Amino acid sequence: MHVVVIGSGISGLSTGAELLRGGHDVTVVSAEPISATTSFLAAAVWFPTAAGPADRVGAWSTETFSHLEAQAAARTPGVRMCESLALYRSEPPTPTWSRTVRAFRAAEADELPPGYSFGFRFTVPLVEMPVFLPHLHDEVAAAGARWVRRTVHRLEDVAELAPDVVVNCAGLRAGQLVDDQTVYPIRGQIVRVTNPGLSVSVRDEAHPLGRAYVHPRENDCILGGSLDSDQWDVTPNPTLAQSILDRCRDLAPQLADSRVIETLVGLRPGRSEVRLELDGSPASGTPVIHNYGHGGSGITIGYGCAREVATIVDSL
């Protein structure tokens, strides 16, 4: 089949890659280069965040974990397995995702920073998106995908490309294409700093100043962050940036002397539940598969969602 995929973030490119592996012809339509997508800015550590429903997210997460783990073993550019530490001020229940990650255990006392009484240690995939996303783009292009740079206002705008199937992976814009009023922006602000020698990813989802995480990459660290619903402003907030620095230094005191490189803002595509389904009554008459609303879990569930889209296409 000739499949038109709208969107070139992690969801669109992952979907395109899977469809090409299945022998389909693929055209990727995107309004902007991959470097302008929210995916390109993402901290991109495997961790289920701001997405539902729980059962489907669990299955997609597990499938994506296995895929990224294999990518890390194959030394795919930008993908590696990273030791991680989740911090708590009192012992929580064992999380459901503990069954998926590797080497899950309670942290030792000497592994905890001051102020914390409990933590979980585990290993998960970390993806450096400025490295991996161009690699995935090139992989999709080398497999034969065609590319169209265009702003799509309605799904019918791609009719002239004569698709057999359209896949809506347009992220935050996906809802606008089909008048889905349940899609909303989740503003995320991060601070990129020099890496003082950190190798363990650390997070505290309940820090008093707000959600906090430190994700070390090869040449920098990504500090975050925020999950601000219905916020469209992409101008970096200096007060929030300072708060992020303060809370992240609680997690990793070694950051005290790190130099700030830049502050970045992206808008995640929020929805109460991911929409991944075959549209029962597309206006154009061409079958449409929706794959959007991943919130902050794009890298965590993206491959699993792409596999499900490919399965639906194969069934048509």
pLDDT tens-digit map of 131-170: 999 999 999 999 999 999 999 999 999 999 999 999 999 9
Least-confidence region, from 41-50, 247-256, 280-289, 298-307: 280-289
The per-residue pLDDT for 261 is 98
The per-residue pLDDT for 52 is 87
The number of C-alpha atoms within 13 Å of 140 and in the hemisphere containing its C-beta is: 28
The per-residue pLDDT for 281 is 75
Strand partners, 27: 4, 146
| For residue 282, pLDDT beyond 80 | no
pLDDT tens-digit map of 14-27: 999 999 999 999 99
| For residue 209, pLDDT beyond 70 | yes
For the chain, the average pLDDT equals 95
Domains and CATH numbers, the chain: 2-82+125-183+272-315 (3.40.50.720)
| For residue 50, pLDDT beyond 70 | no
Which residues, including other chains, have CB under 8 Å from residue 86's CB and lie 6 or more apart?
119, 120, 122, 202, 203, 204, 205
| φ, ψ at 66 (rounded to 5°) | -60, -40
The number of C-alpha atoms within 13 Å of 232 and in the hemisphere containing its C-beta is: 4
pLDDT tens-digit map of 85-108: 999 999 999 999 999 999 999 999
* Residue the block writes with tokens 């619903």: 229
Region 307-314: mean pLDDT is 98
The per-residue pLDDT for 51 is 82
Q: In terms of DSSP H, where are the helices of the chain?
A: 10-21, 38-41, 54-73, 129-142, 174-177, 238-251, 298-315
